Structure 1
Amino acid sequence: MTLTRPGPRTASPTTSPAPATAPAPDGKRRGFLPFSGWHLLLAPLALLFAIPLVWLLLSSVMSDAEINRFPPALWPSGIDLGGYRYVLGNALFPRWFTNSLIVSAVAVTTNLLFGALGGYAFARMRFAGSKALLVLMLATMAVPFQLTMIPTFMVMKRLGLIDTLGALVLPSLVTPFAVFLLRQFFLSLPRELEEAAWLDGCSRMRVLFTIVLPLSRPALSTVAVLTFLTTWNDLTWPLIAINHDTHYTLQLGLTTFQGQHHTRWSAVMAGNVLTVLPVLLAFLGAQKSFIRSLTSTGLKG
């Protein structure tokens, strides 16, 4: 029998797998546009809403003759800073700005504090009449300010706060909107985090300030921005409660630039630009938290 030596083994050719095509991040094929089609609708709307701000800025660097001209000029012939010089040269303007800042800062701080306490009580604590009290509090939001204006004035007068900044601060210490918005956000938080802290011996106040509030920054930012916006732009109540010009707020002080027979529109426009600027900066600073709060706060409970 003849033995034959086996030949060398030849490696069988292996076929490398074809590279898999990575799916699109959103699971869909990218269209022809590099952005969402909604931008074609939202961009013109954004420009439409920006027209008043642009016109305000352009008018603030016009002269009174250009503003009063008919037809009105769409673009200033030159930069005239006379309105800004008139506003900033007014000796009372820094005082008005400070008064508005004090009233707005106190209102924001107290609404965050008392709103958080009230919202947490309605969200997590059950006591006799809690639902009825919540409904009653929300019903006050439907009452117009014109109906409570005179009673509020009488209360402030009895307290001796008329013509002081206290008359502007006290009615704005807490609002039903702040309590309701924070309550709705607290309901969306899981109870397990609070229960774990209670097992560790934490009190309700410590749970609120160390666990709940750090998780509620979007809602707190929303309350802060809306409270600042409302208090900063308020004109009706300061017009009723304040008499002396040294206690004027910024909105009330700007009305002094409008006389019965002559109005310095360049100064009015420049003052409005300086008034809008803090509100715009505050909103841009809290924009992401503001949107997160509106998208995550539902109508639960």
Structure 2
Amino acid sequence: MTAARMTPGRWVIWVLLIAGGLVMIFPVYWMFATAFAPKGALLDGSLRLWPPRLTLDNLRQAWESQPVGRWVANSVLTTVAGVVLTVLVSLLAGYAFAKYRFRGHNVLFLAILLTIMVPIQVIMVPEFLVVAKLNLVGTLWAVILPRAAEGIAVFIARQFMLGIPDELLEAARLDGAGELTVFRKVVLPLCGPLVGVLVILAFVWRWNDLIWPLVALKPDTNYTLPLGLQSMHGTFNSPIEAIMAVSVLAMVPVLVVFVVFQRRFVQGITSTGLR
């Protein structure tokens, strides 16, 4: 778009978009600046927006005073295991709903869709009772297993797999392939974009989960990173710089996963939306 075609209305739109982008990015910038600034350098009441020097002292202080390493390990374990389970269950369930017709097919799928609209606070008590009956309360499995199936993930998988031609599946079956072989050899190779979408969504859900781990896990050593961050806020004192440093540490894995799967994420969302 050349400058000659930029009407005053378009200039106003661009200015508003840029201003909105700066407003949205400023909290993230402030978090990074505070995390790597000397203690009190940006929180002394001045209008300074950039620290006089960068330091890792805040992260070092948090690491030495809190079991941050244990929190990170717990988050990595629950997130990786949870993502694997969620992606696997979603792919299998989406394939079944997209390519098979069985009694109660529509009713069951409608019930799964209804779970998307139910907040976790509504099912937290019965979910806790089930986990307690299985003697999993206080263990990381109490966080990993209950959310192995996500309604929105199953819905996305089904919508994507509706676009896979049935002729491919029938051709494989005529060649003597079993159902698992058809799924593994024919369906999965076509689901790269879908897997990218599911990995990013499941990773963000698991990594940032706070409410359910707060109920299911025991304090301190079994905490995940979001719970650890919450516990750093004291009643009368909160080490803001240390909290910001751990927040940056918590943000990095999400950014890395999104960058790695970004291309497939966009392809998957676009393909799913066209079904």
Paired residue type of 1:228:
F
Distance 1:72-1:82 versus aligned 2 partners, 3 A rule: farther
> Which of 174, 183, 187 is the matching residue for 1:199?
174
Question: Residue in 2 aligned with 1:54?
Answer: 29
Residue 190 of structure 2 corresponds to 215
Distance 1:45 1:128 in 2: 50
Corresponding residue for residue 20 of structure 1: none
State the percentage of identical aligned residues.
37
Shift of 1:221: 0.9
User: Residue in 1 aligned with 2:268?
Assistant: 293
| 1:1-301 matches, cutoff 5 A | 32=2, 46-71=21-46, 73-90=48-65, 92-298=67-273, 300=275
State the 1:90 CA deviation. Answer: 4.1
**Residue 171 of structure 1 aligns to a residue in which SS?**
coil
Matched position secondary structure for 2:273: coil
In the alignment, residue 215 of structure 1 is paired with which amino acid?
L
Q: Which amino acid aligns with 1:184?
A: Q
Displacement of 1:286 after TM fit?
0.6
In 2, distance between residues paired with 1:115 and 1:295?
18
**Under a length normalisation based on structure 2, what TM-score does the superposition of the two structures give?**
0.90
Paired AA for residue 282 in structure 1 = V
The answer to whether the Cα contact below 8 Å between 2:97 and 2:105 also exists between their aligned partners in 1 is yes
Distance 1:121 1:43 in 2: 45
| Code of the aligned partner of 1:131 | N
Deviation at 1:255, TM superposition (A): 2.1
Please state whether the residue corresponding to 2:55 is helix, strand or coil: coil
User: Aligned in 2, Cα 1:32/1:244: closer, same or farther, shift over 3 Å?
Assistant: closer
Query: How much has 1:152 moved relative to structure 2?
Result: 1.0
Distance in 2 (alpha carbons) for counterparts of 1:212 and 1:46: 40
Residues 206-265 of structure 1, C-alpha deviations (whole Å, 9 max, x = no match): 111111111111111111111010110111111111123111101111223211111111
Q: Is the 8 A contact 2:138 2:222 kept in 1?
A: yes
SS at match of 2:194: helix
1:108 counterpart letter in structure 2: V
Q: CA deviation at 1:88?
A: 2.7
Partner-residue secondary structure (3-state), 1:260: coil
| Alpha-carbon distance, 1:106 to partner | 0.9
The whole-number CA distance in structure 2 between the counterparts of 1:192 and 1:164 is 46
Structure 1 residue 67 displacement after superposition: 4.1
Distance 1:258 1:64 in 2: 17
Unaligned runs of at least 5 residues, structure 2? none
TM score, norm. by length of structure 1: 0.83
| Cα contact 2:70–2:221 (8 A) shared by 1 | yes
- State how far apart, in whole Å, the 1-side matches of 2:91 and 2:56 are: 45
The letter of the residue matching 1:114 is: V
**Separation (CA, whole Å) in 2 of partners of 1:134 and 1:77:** 57
Q: Is the radius of gyration larger for structure 1 or structure 2?
A: 1
Counterpart code for 1:253: G
Q: Partner letter of residue 26 of structure 2? A: I
Tell me the matched-pair count: 268
Point out 4+ residue stretches in structure 1 off by more than 3 angstroms: 36-49
Aligned partner letter, 1:50: I
| Aligned counterparts of 1:227 and 1:43: Cα–Cα separation in 2 | 31
CA–CA distance in structure 1, aligned partners of residues 221 and 257 of structure 2 = 26
Displacement of 1:44: 5.7
In structure 2, the CA distance between the partners of 1:140 and 1:70, relative to structure 1 (3 Å rule), is same
Aligned residue number for residue 12 of structure 1? none
